[in-house]
Structure 1
Amino acid sequence: MSNPLGVHALVWVGGTSPADVETAVRQTKAAGYDLLELSLHDAVNLDAAAARAVLEAEGLGIACSRGLAFDADVSSADTEVVARGEKLLQDSLQITHALGGTHFTGALYSALGKYSAPLSTAGRANVVRVLRDLAAEAAGLDMTLGLEICNRYETNVINTAADALRLADDIGADNVTIHLDTYHMNIEEDSLDAPVRLVGERLGYVHIGENHRGYLGQGHIDFDAFFAALAEIGYTGPITFESFSSAVVSPTLSNDLAVWRNLWDDGMDLATHAREYMAAQLAKHA
């Protein structure tokens, strides 16, 4: 398989303390994955040097993701709020680099939560300016940014692949890529395959998640069509399994993502099943 297969750290642990990171890395390796995705919402507790050492010891890749907060939101029209969001993004980019990662992705363009009104013209202009500057900084580090497309209940900036492509065009940087997530696509898109073809060679990162964020194949998402489309466009980038349950609670992110119930209790069983499921889909459409 040419695609690195990853798993989100929240399958294992809720935080990013040294002990949490070591647990996540060792479990990710034991489950047979190539890459760990770490959310930077808890970055204040992260020791990047120690985390990089354990990642390298286990031979794992790293990708980092995050969204913003309403008091640090680059899609705001308030310049002070935008400045706080811009600082969070800059710090997170540097942390990703310090960890040895080249992919910094997520809802980099807004807070992660339900908005009460559409995105303003001024707010969108702020998103473009901030991400254009961040892309230039990332390019100097040989890194890419990912615009993760999230559903309408988590952002008002981009909800579809077409939205994301327009935003990326306005940013105008070659290292700004599109990040598709099957969980969000299931809510917002007409199909699971057409958006993949629409994005094409600009696809830089993929999240695989079931419609209820539980075990793959136990919901109603058409993964067969999605993986067939990935093969059709020749996508060779990371494919990361993302799932959340109240069995593992992040101090901040669980509330942002409305993780209210147990969809699973055994992270290792969930993760090994997901890896086998994704590998089988890749093999089927090779």
Structure 2
Amino acid sequence: MARLGIHSFVWTDGTTEQALLEAMSQSAECGYRLIELAYLKPEKFNLDRLGQHAKSLDLDIAVTMGLPLAADVSSEDADAAGKGERILSDAVKAVRDIGGSKLGGILYSAHTKYSRTPTDRGRKNSIAAIARTADIAKAAGVDLVLEVVNRFETNLLNTTAQGLAFIDETGSDHVRLHLDTFHMNIEEANPAAALRLAGDKLGYFHIGESNRGYLGDGTINFDLMFDALLDIDYQRDITFESFSSTVVDEGLTIACAIWRDTWTENRPLAEHAKQYIDLKMAEAKRRRTTNARP
């Protein structure tokens, strides 16, 4: 049974340790079993304190991030690629130290709207960096999952098929896909078919609405998504993600173009998402049982 998580940006911009502690408590109170955090700098936060608080709440931790252009592992510039690889190595260690289970996000390029197409040399640099990072993650007991995102946030991995080809080229058995309904709704011709294509290579899954707000208030057909998750027997984590300018920090506001309030009160949003996802999964299971009857 997949665990249900929630992104910390539903609760806080993550600028203070106390806010993150409170976000963990709120998440657990709403019935979530995992909280997703943006990359935490060990020099700014007490990772042991955060990890112990999560453990006391029976809450797992996922960490996601993107790389800056100056540290782009898909760059042709060796210095930039090397800097990005060092950031990834440090991030894996931070996830380990906080007691988290996975590192995901846009790990293979910068998190930005590119003004050029990927180059062959840059792509090879990224593949090599991810392969080496996967070795570090495996030794640390941290899952490495690559988030496939829309064309306005990377130029490298926009579809599941691209993600699978990239993973295959790393030659690593420790890299999986991190798919997201918001991005799939933009880039995939058939999101449910893309989930089936991912199969057991799907390591992490984001549930988010087309307008980044309340689930069910946009255009995504979640019935098809949950049917596909059952078809591939997905047992890993599912995390609700929603961004509003009410909460998110300036960096994410710019990177993800969060220019308006998609909601203003986070607790009702979090409670609704938990109920909605539980309902949709239950409905998918009922459909499967009904269709299986002779």
Report the TM-score range of the alignment, normalised by the length of the smaller protein: over 0.9
Give, in whole Å, the separation in 2 of the partners of 1:249 and 1:155. Answer: 20
CA offsets per residue over residues 53-92 of structure 1, 9 Å max, x none? 1111111111111010011110100111111111111111
Residue pair 2:150, 2:184 contacting (<8 A) in 1 also: yes
User: What is aligned with 1:52?
Assistant: 51
User: What is aligned with 1:6?
Assistant: 5
User: What is aligned with 1:107?
Assistant: 106
Distance 1:270 1:217, change over 3 A: same
Within a 5 Å distance, the mapping from 1:128-139 to structure 2 comes to: 128-139=127-138
Give, in whole Å, the separation in 2 of the partners of 1:144 and 1:174. Answer: 11
5+ residue gaps, structure 1, are none
User: What is aligned with 1:235?
Assistant: 234
User: What is aligned with 2:122?
Assistant: 123
Give, in whole Å, the separation in 1 of the partners of 2:209 and 2:78. Answer: 37
Q: CA deviation at 1:216?
A: 0.2
- Number of aligned positions between the proteins: 285
User: What is aligned with 1:194?
Assistant: 193
5+ residue gaps, structure 2, are 286-294
Give the structure-2-normalised TM-score. Answer: 0.94
Query: What letter corresponds to residue 180 of structure 1 in structure 2?
Result: L
Residue pair 1:115, 1:155 contacting (<8 A) in 2 also: yes
User: What is aligned with 2:67?
Assistant: 68
Query: What letter corresponds to residue 149 of structure 2 in structure 1?
Result: C
Query: What letter corresponds to residue 194 of structure 1 in structure 2?
Result: A
Residue pair 2:92, 2:140 contacting (<8 A) in 1 also: no
Residue pair 1:144, 1:175 contacting (<8 A) in 2 also: yes
Within a 5 Å distance, the mapping from 1:72-221 to structure 2 comes to: 72-221=71-220
Give, in whole Å, the separation in 2 of the partners of 1:44 and 1:267. Answer: 29
Give, in whole Å, the separation in 2 of the partners of 1:14 and 1:214. Answer: 16
User: What is aligned with 2:38?
Assistant: 39
CA offsets per residue over residues 155-212 of structure 1, 9 Å max, x none? 0010000000000000111110011100000100012210011010111100000001
Matched position secondary structure for 1:66: strand
Identical pairs, percent: 41
Give the structure-1-normalised TM-score. Answer: 0.97
Residue pair 1:16, 1:43 contacting (<8 A) in 2 also: no
User: What is aligned with 1:29?
Assistant: 28
Query: What letter corresponds to residue 49 of structure 1 in structure 2?
Result: D
Tell me which structure has the larger Cα radius of gyration: 2
Residue pair 1:135, 1:145 contacting (<8 A) in 2 also: yes
Give, in whole Å, the separation in 2 of the partners of 1:72 and 1:23. Answer: 32
Query: What letter corresponds to residue 83 of structure 1 in structure 2?
Result: G
Give, in whole Å, the separation in 2 of the partners of 1:40 and 1:61. Answer: 15
Give, in whole Å, the separation in 2 of the partners of 1:142 and 1:245. Answer: 33
Matched position secondary structure for 2:108: coil
Structure 1 window deviating more from structure 2 (158-167 vs 47-56): it is 47-56
Matched position secondary structure for 1:252: helix
Distance 1:41 1:259, change over 3 A: farther
Matched position secondary structure for 1:77: coil
Structure 1 window deviating more from structure 2 (140-149 vs 180-189): it is 140-149
